[in-house]
């Protein structure tokens, strides 16, 4: 995600942040909407999900996972073979190269196991900070916070954080989100952004945390 112009919004107070996350936790089931069974499935799915919807990824992986269950399966399939399964997904050519590359790296450098540190994960082709945070959170149960477009938008829109980059938003949220909600914070925000606080037409009239939102014109999008 590139730098964006952010119009500063009045910051939420600590009490407002506590209340907002308490409300999120009361009605949002904090689960990834990507389908996966094994840790390798999740890594592949998250790489595929960059600039693509979870729905599109899930549709593609139904057939892909009938033939690819291990790193050896992907390596044997190769880039060209993999492209046939994921060509409906944006950037499929570069994603195919990354997935074959990361499977080789996992097999050769990490004893065919998904590594559990940020540094190791980000050494894999196609895995940046956001993807590493998702893997650490979902597979290894670490309280990391992955900032995608939804999290970035909502944090700046509500007054949870004011920053021009995903890294900046992450740094602020890690400091501000109450510890008891950190484990699931990025899922709360992603799902809130996907279904309620939408980019163009936020559904403020039915939003359960509207009273904790400082966006000045709640009928408009950022």
Can you tell me the distance from the alpha carbon of 107 to that of 57, in angstroms, rounded to the nearest whole number? Answer: 24
**Residue 130 bears catalytic tag:** yes
pLDDT (tens digit per residue) in 41-82: 999 999 999 999 999 999 999 999 999 999 999 999 999 999
Can you tell me the distance from the alpha carbon of 211 to that of 208, in angstroms, rounded to the nearest whole number? Answer: 8
Catalytic residue among 3, 63, 83, 130: 130
- Yes or no: domain 39-138 corresponds to CATH 1.10.340.30: yes
Query: Looking at residue 123, what is its pLDDT?
Result: 97
Q: What's the rounded mean pLDDT across residues 88-108?
A: 97
Catalytic residue among 63, 84, 148, 198: 148
Q: What's the rounded mean pLDDT across residues 128-154?
A: 96
Query: Looking at residue 15, what is its pLDDT?
Result: 96
Specify the pTM.
0.90
Question: How is the chain split into domains, by residue range?
Answer: 14-31+144-212, 39-138
Confidence band of 6 (pLDDT split at 50, 70, 90): low
Contact indicator for 158, 20 with CB cutoff of 8 Å: yes
**What CATH number is given for 14-31+144-212 in this structure?**
1.10.1670.10
**Residue 176 bears catalytic tag:** no
């Amino acid at each position: 995600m590139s730098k964006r112009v952010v119009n500063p919004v009045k910051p939420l107070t600590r009490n407002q942040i506590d209340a907002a996350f308490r409300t999120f936790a009361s009605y949002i089931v904090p689960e990834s909407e990507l389908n996966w069974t094994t840790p390798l499935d999740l890594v592949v799915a998250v790489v595929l999900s960059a600039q693509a919807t979870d729905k599109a990824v899930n549709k593609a992986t139904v057939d892909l996972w009938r033939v690819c269950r291990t790193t050896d399966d992907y390596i044997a399939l190769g880039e060209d073979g993999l492209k046939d399964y994921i060509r409906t997904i944006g950037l499929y050519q570069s994603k195919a190269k990354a997935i074959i590359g990361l499977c080789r790296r996992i097999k050769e450098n990490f004893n065919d196991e998904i590594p559990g540190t940020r540094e190791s994960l980000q050494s894999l082709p196609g895995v940046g900070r956001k993807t590493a945070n998702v893997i650490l959170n979902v597979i290894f149960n670490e309280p990391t916070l992955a900032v995608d477009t939804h999290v970035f938008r909502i944090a700046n829109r509500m007054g949870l954080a004011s920053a021009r980059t995903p890294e900046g938003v992450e740094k602020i949220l890690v400091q501000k989100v109450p510890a008891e909600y950190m484990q699931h914070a990025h899922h709360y925000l992603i799902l809130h952004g996907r279904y309620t606080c939408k980019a163009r037409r936020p559904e403020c009239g039915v939003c359960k945390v509207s009273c904790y939102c400082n966006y000045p014109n709640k009928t408009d999008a950022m």
